[in-house]
Amino acid sequence: MRKAEPRLQRKLLAWLLGPLLLLLVLDTAAAYWVSQRFANLAYDRALHEIAREIVLHARPGEAGRPRLEMSEATANVLLTDAQDRLFFRVDAPDGGLLGGDPSLPRARLAPGRGADPRFYEDSVRDERVRMVAAWMPINEAAGAPMVQVQVAETLNKRKRLALEMLASVVVPQLLLILLATAVVWIGVSRGLQPLQRLRHAVSDRSHLDLSPIDTHDVPGEVRPLVDEVNELMARLGKTFDFQNRFVADAAHQLKTPVSGLKAQIELALRESDPERVRHSLAQLYISADRLSRLVRQLLSLARNEPGALDTVQLQPLDLNAFALEVGMDWVPHAIKRSIDLGFEGVEHPLMIAADRDRLRELINNLVDNAIRYSPPGGRVTVRASDTGDGHARLAISDDGPSIPVEERQRIFERFHRLLGTQEDGSGLGLAIVSEIATLHEARIELEEDVDGVGNTFSVLFRLRHA
């Protein structure tokens, strides 16, 4: 069996970690941008300062063209840095290079007094640099000539500062996410432990154990599911009990007639007189017939059990006509037993929804009982009527001795028969009748008798109007 639990755990983690990591990526991008800005802010000022220093070495020259007087030593002091290389150039307003590095791309700023310096990125000999460019007067005097000063610096310390700033923001966040992952992992594992225990509680039990699963430790979300499973097990348990009892009862009921049959056969085998053998065979036939009826009743009981696999086919049926039709089949048998079998119906059809075969079986069992338990000369009536409140009643009455009040419930139980009954039977007929009535959502009752005479079994069906 595949474990369901880690999948849930992984899913939860993915849902939590996915958005967190996405957030981290966005955050890193933002932090990188911000840290680069701050690194530039800090170092740009120094770059501008160097530009100012350089201008201090410019002098007014001949014909109004300034000169740059800066010794190599001075330039070295100004332009030396531990991490970066620096370049500069100074240009006259007419575009002539006054000093510095000619390979530095010349800025094309409009000359202007008091304008802000420009900072931007450029490249010098294939190397990226940060540049400051500005027009500056060579001294404080009014009307002093202007020069364009540019200082450029490679990006090493800026990059390093930006990276350091970035690391100081991102690393703690990454650690936080790792910690959150660990905590969530542990939390989810512990949270899912009851489910794991539940799984063991189910997988460890024997297939015969249908007792309810203990719910006291089960998380609220799963409880309805467990309750449903328990409910199902309770129903299964009832069905199992029922089946077990039925099989035991059936085996018990079949044992007696089968041993009777064997004894009769042994007896017949010892006979030599053909006449007596014939007699034994006739007896055997009667016993086999009884046995086969018992088996039929047992099968019918199993077939009509509520929830049985055999599906019920309820179709429109006229109870009035059908009761007469089934009742007629019993006339020859009734005559043989000197019973006056009558039928009373109504003028119009009584439409109900019924399964023909099962309804026939129900009527057969009730009529069979009425004839079987009435003394010769009795009257049995099959009656179909409209109750007036939306029901059709089928009643089978006899005028034999009434069933004692205390037995009226129990005769519907399986194998229950009245004490001292002389007639053949196994006590299954009324149990079958009651099952069939249930399948038709019909109510069966044994009506009150008058002065201890007669029995009326009536079944109430809901009327269906065509």
Ligand X SMILES: Nc1ncnc2c1ncn2[C@@H]1O[C@H](COP(=O)(O)OP(=O)(O)OP(=O)(O)O)[C@@H](O)[C@H]1O
Letters for 368-407 (x = contact with Mg ion by CB under 5 A, - = none) are: -x--------------------------------------
**Sequence-distant (≥ 6) Cβ neighbours of residue 235 within 8 angstroms:** none
Q: How far is the CB of 459 from ligand X (least distance, A)?
A: 14
Q: Which residues bind ligand X (CB under 6 A)?
A: 297, 365, 369-370, 373, 398, 400, 403, 411, 417-418, 421, 425-431, 455
Rounded CA-CA distance 345/330 in Å is 17
**DSSP E strand boundaries for 92-204:** 97-100, 118-124, 127-137, 146-154
Rounded CA-CA distance 454/448 in Å is 9
User: Looking at the chain, how many residues does it have?
Assistant: 466
Rounded CA-CA distance 235/217 in Å is 23
As beta bridge partners, residue 343 has 382
Q: Cβ closer to ligand X: 117 or 427?
A: 427
429 binds Mg ion (CB under 5 A): yes
Six-digit token pair at 268?
Answer: 């017949």
Q: What residue number has its CB nearest to Mg ion?
A: 429
Rounded CA-CA distance 383/394 in Å is 6
Rounded CA-CA distance 132/152 in Å is 6
Q: Cβ closer to ligand X: 107 or 430?
A: 430
Q: What angle do CA 109, 114, 116 make, to 5 degrees?
A: 55
Rounded CA-CA distance 100/122 in Å is 17
Q: Cβ closer to Mg ion: 188 or 395?
A: 395
Q: What does 417 interact with, of ligand X, Mg ion, none (CB < 5 to 8 A by kind)?
A: ligand X
Q: How far is the CB of 192 from Mg ion (least distance, A)?
A: 59
**Parallel, antiparallel, or unpaired for β 127-137 and 118-124?**
antiparallel
Q: How far is the CB of 371 from Mg ion (least distance, A)?
A: 10
Please choose, from the candidates 403, 401, 396, 384, the residue with its C-alpha nearest in 3D space to the C-alpha of residue 461: 384
Q: How far is the CB of 247 from ligand X (least distance, A)?
A: 18
Q: Cβ closer to Mg ion: 369 or 402?
A: 369
Q: What does 428 interact with, of ligand X, Mg ion, none (CB < 5 to 8 A by kind)?
A: ligand X
Q: How far is the CB of 455 from ligand X (least distance, A)?
A: 4
Total binding residues for Mg ion by CB under 5 A? 2
Q: What does 370 interact with, of Mg ion, ligand X, none (CB < 5 to 8 A by kind)?
A: ligand X
Q: What does 297 interact with, of ligand X, Mg ion, none (CB < 5 to 8 A by kind)?
A: ligand X
Binding site for Mg ion (CB under 5 A): 369, 429
